[in-house]
Amino acid sequence: MPSARLALADGSVFEGRAVGASGHAGGEVVFNTSMTGYQEMLTDPSYAGQLLTLTYPMIGNYGVDTAVEESEKIQPSGLIVREVAPTASHLNSTNDLGTFLSDRGVIAIEGVDTRAITRRIRSQGVMLGVITTESVEDALAQVRSLPGYDDIDWASQVTTEKQYGWGSFAKNSNLLPAVEPIANKAVSTLKEGPRSKASESHKKVVLIDGGVKRNIMRSLTARECDITVLPIDATAEQVLALRPDGIVWSPGPGDPQVQNVQVEETKKLIGKVPILGICLGHQVIARALGAGTFKLPFGHRGGNHPVRDERTGSVTITAQNHGYAVDPIGLDASAEVSHVNLNDGTVEGITMRDEPVMTIQFHSEASPGPLDSMSTFDHFVEMMATAGVK
């Protein structure tokens, strides 16, 4: 394989080997500590504009399978790993990771010290970087010319271009099998006891797409929800014209501070129908309720983040992928912090006292990660069943 190098904004350079396409790719360098789920991570829209570093040393050993993809394409600008497995072994594997990257034109680097890269990010914070098969001088020049990650509206770049229904989309997509993937089968086998009667009736859900993962829609569909997906720039009037039983504000990439228009539109939706906000959706709704947001030094990205429910005291292990957090100062008196991250005390969820609104910073649909928080979707369906449209 040809040589490649990773250049960081602090001037450090890591030499390695090229995997996938040739050329160069730039973005904000972040790391994820999950041991499995590289394909789900690679197709997660929340990684748009970033160079994804995987801390687990060998990546690609179980190959790739289109059934687990979370969007229609690879979303990070590039991939950084210690070692790409030369062969893949899994019943459902259809390809190896190297070929998968090459076929989709994605630039990656292996053979670098991902532990050293991760330690640098943890100590100095996330920074811009470039993966290149060109010279060190070119790489450093390219890093200096990159625009700031926080200045770009990444969510608008990954949102759907037009409205669609999830059911018809799933049947017509050549990237998503018509059968339900294993994520939904796992829900039925791991959940304790039968679902409530309220959750069995069909509900109309409008999903605002800021970078939605398919397993959110799979999880809602498994709970008898009919889903209409709208672009992130949908107005409150357009959302309510569909007469939904509930609204889901999806995860997505980028700084929530650039979503000022959607914050104002979300204010118009609160109190109309039940709302669930996930990740970016949590941050937008929090801003609509008066809270602020700030950038974390190196973000939360992995499948082992402990979160405590402040109402019950219970702790769940969650999957997370975000670089920004909610500042509760200024939060309206009608709302309260419902969940807290036990690692750093940051806000992981908000509920309203008198309105059917709930938000979570973590990924209840996991993919990849633990399924401990799948009950969030049950709570949302029950909230729709008991709340009347005002």
Where in the sequence numbering do the catalytic residues fall?
279, 363, 365
Are 276 and 285 in contact by the 8 Å Cβ rule? The answer is no
- Kind of pairing, strands 225-231 and 203-209? parallel
| Residues 78, 20: Cα–Cα separation, whole Å | 10
How many C-beta atoms lie closer than 10 Å to residue 165's C-beta? 12
Helix, strand, coil percent values for the chain (each to nearest 5): 30, 30, 40
Q: Which residue has the tokens 């397993």?
A: 215
Of 37, 53, 62, residue with least CA distance to 108: 53
The span from the CA of 101 to the CA of 110, in Å, is 12
User: Would you state the structure tokens that stand for residue 89, as one six-digit string?
Assistant: 């072994």
Query: How is residue 257 annotated by DSSP?
Result: G
Query: 72 phi and psi, to 5 degrees?
Result: -85, -5
Which residues, 6+ apart, have CB-to-CB distance to 228 below 8 Å? 163, 164, 165, 166, 204, 205, 206, 207, 242, 244
- Indicate the residue type of 85: A
